[in-house]
Amino acid sequence: MRARSTAARYALLAALAVVIVAATPWLGPHWITWREIVASDQPSYIFWHLRVPRSLLAACAGASLAAGGVVFQALFRNPLAEPYTLGVASGASLAAALGFLGGWHGWAPAGVPTLTLLAFGGALAAMSLVYLMSRLRRGRDMARLLLAGVCVAYMCSAGILLVFFLADRAITNDIVIWMMGSLGTLRPRAALEIALVLVPVLAYVAYSHRALDLLAFGDDLAASRGVNVGRTIWTCYLLVGVLTAVIVANCGPIGFVGLMVPHIGRAIFGVCTLPLLLGSVLLGAAFLAACDGLARSLPVTELPVGVVTNILGATFFFYLLATRDIAHGAARS
């Protein structure tokens, strides 16, 4: 009976996600009707070449951020962990800011914007630095990894402030807009790039779901049950880090999705990694697609989707702080 109930929840959530993602291409400053798509070239081009790829990008990015949040919250045993915890977004943002400062953001070698390449390289550089810093001395892997990530994030933030100081006002404005997070890229391949990284991440996490469940109770218990703790931690870190780097390179940093969606998923599917992962992926795809549809349907101006997710995420965590002992749980972990 319980398995049947869970399957029904998956079916309902999957149907809801498909409906939301399929509906968002119709939304925008001007709501396109099917008659306009059939009768006119311009609405047809906007719908199929701009809005549909954007909705697919939102679904892939939302699913990826949610999956990363599930993994990191299990590894860190911290309900406030997310894919941006370890400085990946900060490294990508610093590299992108340097690209704006150097005037390289208009280039697109081989059809890939230089800004995307720089952001991806910056994210990988931040990941590598976090890894090296956390391995300087032996110790508890996750504690050192978290502290190294915080250090790298602060270093990158200082670099971004220096770029702000050196750049003129127009460039500073471009950097701020990019750092808000947006799905407005005109590259149809962006969704495919994220999906190609997401698939192996989901496969590995699904394969290692028992190990992640045991790690949530502590490294010693997991090791006593046969889990290779170090390999599991570093493989998850590498896979989620690369996935986050691809997202930030294409969309900029979009906050709160990786924090908020796993919490909603636990209320529906429980705390076990495998059902939570599958449910969160569907929730994340629907959530970010809906946020983007809302952001570009406002009558005044189109908002970067990161602004919408930050507002909703902050409101959600105010609710959690008011109703649950989440701060004590985070400190204890």
Residue 80 has phi, psi (to 5 degrees) of -100, 5
Residue type, 123: A
pLDDT of the chain along its 333 residues, tens only? 566 788 889 999 999 999 999 999 998 888 788 888 888 888 888 888 889 999 999 999 999 999 999 999 998 888 888 888 888 889 989 998 999 898 887 677 767 788 888 989 999 999 889 888 877 765 555 778 888 888 999 999 999 999 999 998 888 988 888 888 889 877 778 999 999 999 999 999 999 999 999 988 888 888 999 999 889 988 998 899 899 989 988 898 998 999 999 999 999 999 999 999 999 999 999 999 999 999 988 877 778 899 999 999 989 888 877 877 655 555 444
The beta strand positions in 157-250, using DSSP E, are: none
Task: Tell which phi-psi region holds residue 228, choosing left (phi > 0), alpha (psi between -120 and 50) or beta.
Answer: beta
| Most distant CA pair in the chain, distance | 67
Question: Could you say which DSSP state residue 140 is in?
Answer: -
CB 204 within 8 A of CB 69: no
Take residue 114 and report the two structure tokens written for it.
């230089």
d(CA 160, CA 307): 19
Half-sphere exposure of 89 (CA within 13 A, CB side): 20
d(CA 240, CA 88): 10
4, 10 in Cβ contact below 8 A? no
CA distance 265 to 269: 6
Of the candidates 311, 317, 45, the one whose C-alpha atom is nearest the C-alpha of residue 303 is: 311
Domains recognised in the chain with CATH numbers: 2-332 (1.10.3470.10)
What is the length of the chain? 333
Look at residues 2, 57, 1, 72 and name the one whose alpha carbon lies nearest to residue 24: 57
